Amino acid sequence: MTSFADHRIIIVGLFLPTSTAAVFHPVPAANPSPAPRSGKVLPKVTDEAISTSEETSLPSTGLPPAAPATTAQIPPTATKFSLQRPTHNRRASSLNLLKQPAASIVDDLLASRKPGGTLNLPSTGTLTVKQNGDDDEEDTTPRGERSNPFASFAASDTSLSTKDRAEVARGRDRGDVQIDTPAQPEAGATPLYRRLSRKQSKGSGSLSITREVSVGPWEIETNPNANGGLHNAVQSVAHEMRAGKVWVGVLGPETDDISPDMRTAIEAQMETRESIPVWVSDADFNGCYDKFCHQVLWPSLHYIIPDAPKTSVMYESSSFVQYKAVNEAFADTVARIWKEGDVIWINDYHLLLLPQLLRARLPTAAISFFLHVAFPSSEIFRCLAARESLLRGMLGADLIGFQTHSYARHFRQTVSRILSVEATPKGIQLFGSSGLEVGKSPDLAHPAVAVKIHNGTDHGTDHGHAKTALEKAEEELDCSSRATASEHSFVDVAVFPMGIDIQSLTRRRKEKEVGEWVIALRERYKGMKMIVARDKLDEVQGVRQKFLGFERFLEKNKEFQGKVMLIQVALSTTSINELQGNVTDVISRINMKFSTLTYQPIIFFHTQDVTFSQYLALLTVADCFIVTSLREGMALRTHEFIECQAERQRPLILSEFTGSFSFSGFRACLAINPWDIQMTADAILTSLTMPPDEAAKRWKELHAHVNAQTAQAFTRAFLNRTVRVHYKHHIKDSLVIPTLDTAAVRGRYRRAAEGQGKRLILVDLERTLWQHDTSPPPQKGEVPERVIKLLERLAADEKNDVWGLSGLPVEGKLENIGNKLLNVGICAEHGCYMKPKGSTEWITMTEGMSTAWMAPCMEILQYFTERTPNSFIDKRKATIVWRFDLTDDEGDRSWARRQAAEAQNHIYDSLGERFRLRIIPSPSSFIVLPKVLGRSTAVGSILQSGGQSEATLNLDATVGTQQWPTPGMDAEQYTYILAVGSDGSLMNRLKRIKNAETVYTGLRMTGGSNWRCEPEEIYRAFEEILSDEA
């Protein structure tokens, strides 16, 4: 087994990263620009104005709201147009705050097109803005410098932003904006059609670009839609990826009109940048991205069920069919480039179906999936019409990662309740579950299965009515998951909190430009308390709740009026929503209520962008940073704030509903419930009046957590876990254990006794030497006679140290064996009690351990016992066993398995971390015991250099470590170790010792043991091994 450094990593996300998006150049027009008309004209459109910044956080600065425009000409040279994916924002332009969504510039041009004429966007021209005087709608923020702290500083040239170009075109029809159009281009000049998004260009219907129209030259540019946090995390460990990496995703622009030759050229250039583009039709992408992802999945994952009267997408199947088509396009591309040994890392909710689609194509591939956003409770997720297909799609991965423990728990519970599969604290058991039955080949000849969903050729029916596209798409996915379930029986579910690249951020914040902005801000707002926030303007970020809390703070604390300002940076959103109007109403009210001639309480950056250097400067000078998200995966901007506060060490106000808050290291923040307006107001007051030593103490705790939870730690942990899990699932567990060769074992057994050699014999008692008694306690204490005879025969050899390993309590069978066979050591209750060889005294290995967990655990199990037929609780001194599945009725057995999975999850989530418990599952029971104990721990104690008499003294040496052999362990005191039992974990660990031989007696046919032997054959095997002994 190797680390991720020895494997090529295929990183799959919807968009290619920020360094790999294609942009296109129009052919320049030859006509010069006419003289501008009188009046105010908008600033020139330059490369800097349209191209996207290299920063992953925030693009370049534009005009402040309603700032005076400047005169400039559109240059006659070739302009670089960035054809980006849709960002359908309901935004206010720099001209004024509009109450309706911006129209497409293509629609405006279409409306003005003359019959029979040619549609051309002039490559030169002057944009003139009419002044409507007092009749204009009042802006929500005051004009001039007071609305923009960066307006008076010459940090960058003001320019017309990309979004404002659409507003200009729409404003022309209102009469607010005039465009001076030059003469038509000369014959032979290529007309340019600028498409702002897939949705807008395709939505026009009557207007489309033909393939005969040349798109012009192209080059590589940044992609603002990509996952910047993921890109930074991967880049932080890129130097460790010796086998290389490759990104897979769609391009920035629309692609329907790109010719095959140009696609080939783009692919060749992208490959040099470690990127592979996925070609998806514009219609499929728009349905997937704009409708299913952003109107169905995104709200649902963040506890917002789409409102049926406002969107019909929730109950329509067409967008899911397009979502499936996009995922299939990704699957085809990844399968084409995959090579043996590659690790496939799939990211985020846009590609939930991809793991299963890839598993069907690449059964032995290492596939992992990480969800960067929240995962809701099962009661929310079950509202999705395609819930089963989405869950089965995710379960095609070897490993599924989440940001927090609560998201992982919600996922396990959702899978258990919706798919009726067994969900354990470590993951999802698919083998033999009713939701994903294995061993059944799907009938691919069935019309509903064989149909090609996307082309609409199927006309199957179900229950007398025509099947919907959603039903048919789900049927295809269901068949795919069933076909691969037998080869993929367990899915690990784990938590990997994401972080930031601290070294990179430290370098950036020490740059000269950041220092200049810090000085400028401190001079401009000297004596003013600054609260800083940065959020997307969508329903889950709690921006409106933040402003309401700030308003309450100013109302209740009049001494701070005129002395505190809130600087809110609002990032672009990818959906049209009503929130902007609600937010601007609150901003208007607060600013009108508390503003003076020299003071404005809220500065709202929505129509202007802030550079990354300016953003870091804001974090550096802030007296407080506030996050009021209603639900969020992991608020990494809080990590950036903490790092930027290395000198000032000011407080952080953080919503309880963020992923960051779920970690103990972030409990030093000021926690708030964003729905509680007064609580938010109180937190603001506390943060601004907090003594410096208390603030420094809180900051140090936060800083320690941020430095431990880094981007590098996240990436290494996730990829290394993927490699280990894949090795276990597909390599080690696929190795068929050979049947026991007693002659080979006998030879090693005999040679080990030569000279001064000693042997250690470890034998499982129940499930190996006798059938396990599953009857309720009290159980019979008689031990089968042949067990006593075999142990007595093994212990009679003075060169043997014999230990019997058991999960049973001391009272009963184990006590009887101990009394009869003094020369046999016994381990009871999975290592909680041990009787050394030659003694009748039982050593308590749980000395000093709390048993406070047992009472609440009994309560939980009693609840499930009352609801599960034929189940019962077996409470012992240090462990608790719950037995179920003791019936022949298949329905009751299926219900019992589901109840067992629910019970395990509930115990693990409520008690596991607090009391450091572990759960050992089996087909018809599970046992709860302290995490530091187990058969592996007991055997480790036996192998301590001081022997079993030192077990209690050296127990800590084996606790909480994955290393085996453990420090202090002296396995070489024995020349030969023979272990026979059904504990696969113990067998695998002992196999790492060179002088050990393991014989597995469990149910699995595959694993890492040396030999396998059926329990009913074990006596015959021992007879053959011992037959030549004197």
- Confidence (pLDDT) at 435: 40
Encoded amino acid at 670, one letter? L
pLDDT of residue 777: 72
488 has pLDDT over 60 = no
Beta bridge partners of 266: none
CB 394 within 8 A of CB 364: no
Report the 3 state secondary structure along 243-305: CCEEEEEECCCCCCCCCHHHHHHHHHHHHCCCEEECCCCHHHHHHHHHHHHHHHHHHHHCCCC
pLDDT at 725: 92
Q: Distance (Å, rounded) from C-alpha 133 to C-alpha 346?
A: 54
d(CA 808, CA 823): 20
How high is the pLDDT of residue 986?
87
Of 293 and 470, more confident: 293
pLDDT digits (tens, 9 = 90+) for 826-848: 999 988 999 998 888 898 888 88
Beta strands in 290-348 (DSSP E): 343-347
Give the model's pLDDT for residue 692.
95
pLDDT at site 9: 96
Question: For 66-122, what is each residue's pLDDT tens digit?
Answer: 333 333 333 333 333 333 444 433 333 322 333 333 333 233 333 433 444 433 333
604 CB neighbour count, 10 Å cutoff: 27
Q: 793: exposed, middle or buried (C-beta count within 10 Å: 0-12, 13-18, 19+)?
A: middle
Q: Measured between alpha carbons, how far is 6 from 240 in angstroms, rounded to an integer?
A: 9
Residue indicated by tokens 């963040």: 302
990 Cβ contact partners less than 8 Å away, ≥ 6 residues apart: 762, 939, 977, 979, 996, 998
| Mean per-residue pLDDT, 766-776 | 79
| CA–CA gap between residue 334 and residue 339 (Å, rounded) | 10
Give pLDDT tens digits for 869-891: 989 999 999 999 999 877 778 88
Query: What is the distance between the alpha carbons of residues 44 and 487, in angstroms, rounded to a whole number?
Result: 61
Question: Quick one: pLDDT at residue 928?
Answer: 94
Residue 1003 DSSP class: S
Task: Note whether 978 and 760 are within 8 A (CB).
Answer: yes
Structure confidence at residue 132 as a pLDDT band (50, 70, 90) = very low
Pairwise CA distance, residues 675 & 866, whole Å: 38
**Which pLDDT belongs to residue 802?**
94
pLDDT of residue 125: 32
Strand, coil or helix: 42: coil
pLDDT, position 322? 93
Residues 6+ apart with CB under 8 A from 789: none
What does DSSP say about strands 833-835 and 824-828: parallel, antiparallel, or unpaired?
antiparallel
At residue 960, does pLDDT exceed 50?
no
Q: Please report the DSSP string for 850-869 in residue order.
A: --TTHHHHHHHHHHHHHTST
Using 50, 70 and 90 to split pLDDT, how confident is the model at 965?
low
617 pLDDT more than 90? yes
Taking the C-alpha atoms of residue 597 and residue 586, their distance in angstroms, rounded to an integer, is 20
10 Å CB burial of residue 32 (0-12, 13-18, 19+) is exposed
How far is 652 from 1006, CA to CA, in rounded Å?
A: 52
Chain-centre distance of CA 270, in angstroms?
Answer: 26
Confidence at residue 196, expressed as pLDDT on a 0 to 100 scale: 34
User: What integer is the mean pLDDT of 713-738?
Assistant: 86
Question: Does residue 704 sit in helix, strand or coil?
Answer: helix
Q: Are 395 and 359 in contact (CB under 8 A)?
A: no
Interatomic CA distance for residues 1001 and 676, integer angstroms: 58
Summarised one tens digit per residue, pLDDT across range 326-365 is 999 999 999 999 999 999 999 999 999 999 999 999 999 9
- Say if CB 608 and CB 63 are below 8 A apart: yes
The CA–CA distances, whole Å, from 224 to 82, 215, 231, 253, 608 equal 10, 21, 12, 11, 16
Q: What is the pLDDT of residue 136?
A: 37
Rounded CA gap, 271 and 251, in Å? 13
Long-range contacts of 767-776 (CB under 8 A, 24+ apart): 767/981, 767/982, 767/1001, 767/1002, 767/1015, 768/980, 768/981, 768/982, 768/1001, 768/1015, 768/1018, 769/1015, 769/1018, 771/1015, 774/883, 774/886, 774/924, 774/925, 776/872, 776/874, 776/883
Rg of the chain, C-alpha, whole Å: 34
Q: Give the model confidence (pLDDT) of 30-50 as tens digits.
A: 444 444 433 333 333 333 333
For the chain, the average pLDDT equals 76
Q: Does the structure show a pLDDT above 80 at 457? A: no
For residue 293, give the nearest of 273, 313, 268 by alpha carbon: 313
Give per-residue pLDDT as tens, 678-687: 999 999 999 9
Task: Kindly tell me if the per-residue pLDDT of 173 is higher than 70.
Answer: no
Query: Which tens digits make up the pLDDT trace of 588-610?
Result: 999 999 999 889 999 998 867 78
For the stretch 500-513, pLDDT in tens is 999 999 999 999 99
- Is the pLDDT assigned to residue 147 strictly greater than 80? no
- The model's confidence at residue 166, banded by pLDDT at 50, 70 and 90, is very low
- The encoded tokens of residue 247 equal 């990104």
Q: Do you find a cis peptide bond into 965, omega within 30 degrees of 0?
A: yes
Whether pLDDT at 228 is above 70: yes
- For residues 914-924, average pLDDT: 85
Tokens 């019309």: give the residue. Answer: 447
User: Does position 1025 have pLDDT exceeding 70, yes or no?
Assistant: yes
Cα(768)–Cα(90) distance, rounded to whole angstroms? Answer: 68
The helix/strand/coil state of 664 is helix
For residue 596, give the 3-state DSSP assignment.
strand
Question: Taking a C-beta distance cutoff of 8 angstroms, is the pair 33, 71 a contact?
Answer: no
All domains in the chain, ordered by first residue: 32-216 (no CATH), 244-252+271-495 (3.40.50.2000), 502-709 (3.40.50.2000), 742-846+933-1026 (3.40.50.1000), 854-928 (no CATH)
User: Which stretches of 806-879 are assigned E, i.e. beta strand?
Assistant: 824-828, 833-835, 843-844, 872-875
